[in-house]
Structure 1
């Protein structure tokens, strides 16, 4: 009888380890999503500032220790491109987080089923 009880315990440990691993991976995804949201907010602020500028005004871009003159159209285009990229990455991360939640729910169900089946054996 002890071997029957040990097998569900081993499975429980395995499932719990897998669940913990998924939680850690999900935490990394959430941190990356928060970082991208901060970058998005910053770039949206830059875009709003560009909208206030006239086409004839000068924009300078910091490249290393040097300020380089940049056309408004080019700077605006760069910021819009960044925002598009950031939006796509946020969407990708949201999908990964949803997928991770689904996997975690499935493992949670397996853990509960394993615990339930192990109880009569004890």
Structure 2
């Protein structure tokens, strides 16, 4: 019984460490997703502003410390490509997050079952001692 208890406690520690790792990964995912969401909003604003411009308007792109003249159609295309990329990344991150949350729930269930087994063994040992 004592060896089974030690084995279960080691198993519980491993499961808890794995659960911690999943939770950290979920936190990182949320952080990166927030950044993409902000970028998506900024690019949507740029897209709306570009739509307001006349076809012959001058558009400049900031590259390092220099403003470089850019064709309006090229600027619109670049913003649209960026929005498509960010949207795809957000969808990918949502799918990853869903998977990680499912893993987290499964790992929590494992931890709870292991804890219950440990408690049952401890209760049995306490009953024998009396």
TM over 0.5: yes
Residue 107 of structure 1, CA deviation: 0.5
Distance 2:4 2:62 in 1: 67
Q: How well do the aligned residues superpose, as a CA RMSD in angstroms? A: 0.9
How big is the shift at 1:116? 1.4
**Structure 1 runs of 4+ with >4 Å offset:** none
Cα distance in 1 for residues equivalent to 2:113 and 2:38 = 41
2:30, 2:14 → 1: CA distance?
A: 24
The total of aligned residue pairs comes to 122
Which whole-Å deviations, capped at 9, do the CAs of 1:28-62 have from their partners, x for residues lacking one? 11111000000000000100111111111110111
Alignment of 1:72-87 (within 5 A): 72-87=72-87
* Structure 1: unaligned runs, 5 residues or longer: none
Q: What is the distance in 1 between the residues matched to 2:121 and 2:55? A: 78
Which residue number corresponds to residue 128 of structure 2?
none
Is residue 114 from structure 1 mapped to residue 114 from structure 2 by the alignment? yes
Counterpart CA distance in 2 for 1:101 and 1:67 is 44
- Larger-gyration structure (1/2): 2
Displacement of 1:66 in angstroms is: 1.7
Looking at structure 1, the residues matched to 4 and 64 of structure 2 have their Cα atoms a distance apart, in angstroms, of 66
- Post-superposition Cα deviations, 1:48-102, rounded to whole Å, max 9, x if no partner, equal 1111111111101111222111111000000000000000000111111100001
* Counterpart for residue 93 of structure 1: 93
Secondary structure of the equivalent of 1:54? coil
TM-score by length of 2: 0.90
TM-score by length of 1: 0.96
Q: 5+ residue gaps in structure 2?
A: 123-130
